[in-house]
Amino acid sequence: DTGVSQNPRHKITKRGQNVTFRCDPISEHNRLYWYRQTLGQGPEFLTYFQNEAQLEKSRLLSDRFSAERPKGSFSTLEIQRTEQGDSAMYLCASSLQASYNEQFFGPGTRLTVL
Amino acid sequence: RKEVEQDPGPFNVPEGATVAFNCTYSNSASQSFFWYRQDCRKEPKLLMSVYSSGNEDGRFTAQLNRASQYISLLIRDSKLSDSATYLCVVPSGGGADGLTFGKGTHLIIQP
């Protein structure tokens, strides 16, 4: 399967714990995006990378959230001191720079904070 | 006006019928638009891109009205498998490269 992959698929954690998610984009895609989706809402943009550079962050991305893409391939999203309001589906997407904004999504990581 | 606005539905439509829904957007500078399809508990998947006045792909037609700032999606001869949530997507604008998604329109095709 050469699509976008994410792991874990599900994560249950207690409030206050740190969690880290991983995204592996389609191999030739140089752009990688993170989104958050809650029930009944569309995905909300969090941040994106072009190669290893993080070029944009949404105001939704509080200082408890950090994302990295150290070698321009896979990316990690870490949430520190999780809160119940962080419970959501975290989606990763990737795209070719040439095919502007036609993004391919991974299956997501569903986070539940107890 | 909200950045991207859609009627959440649900739209209950008999199999074989034609259904259309609209999406309005606020960023008049947007040049490209997208319809994504999302099945229950699955990731969004690109259905159609709209770069000019419209696009057609089989039973699906997307049209863009820049003057009124809306995009429509028309589905002809609807199938049971068309049941899904359809997300209208617009570039975030203001130099940002993210996408702004609508909340989606829930479509249920009934046998």
A84 φ, ψ to 5°? Answer: -60, -30
Name the band, by pLDDT with cuts 50, 70 and 90, for residue A2.
confident
What per-residue confidence (pLDDT) applies to B54?
A: 85
* Nearest residue of chain B to residue A103 (CA atoms): B46
Evaluate the CA torsion angle B30, B35, B38, B42 in order and state its sign.
negative
The reply to whether A44 touches chain B by the CB within 8 Å rule is yes
Q: Across the interface, do A101 and B45 touch by the CB < 8 Å criterion?
A: no
The reply to whether A40 touches chain B by the CB within 8 Å rule is yes
Residue B33 and residue B63: Cα distance in Å, rounded? 10
Tokens of B3: 């950045």
What per-residue confidence (pLDDT) applies to B2?
A: 65
Query: Tokens 């490269």, residue?
Result: B97
A94-107 confidence digits (pLDDT tens) = 998 755 668 899 99
Contacts of B49 in chain A (CB under 8 A): 102
A85 φ, ψ to 5°? Answer: -70, -10
Contact B87, B104 (CB under 8 A): yes
Nearest by CB to residue B87, choosing from A42, A48, A102, is A42
A33-90 confidence digits (pLDDT tens) = 999 999 989 999 999 999 999 988 888 888 999 999 998 899 999 999 999 999 999 9
If you average pLDDT over residues B51-60, what whole number do you get?
A: 88
Which stretch of DSSP H or E encloses residue A3?
none
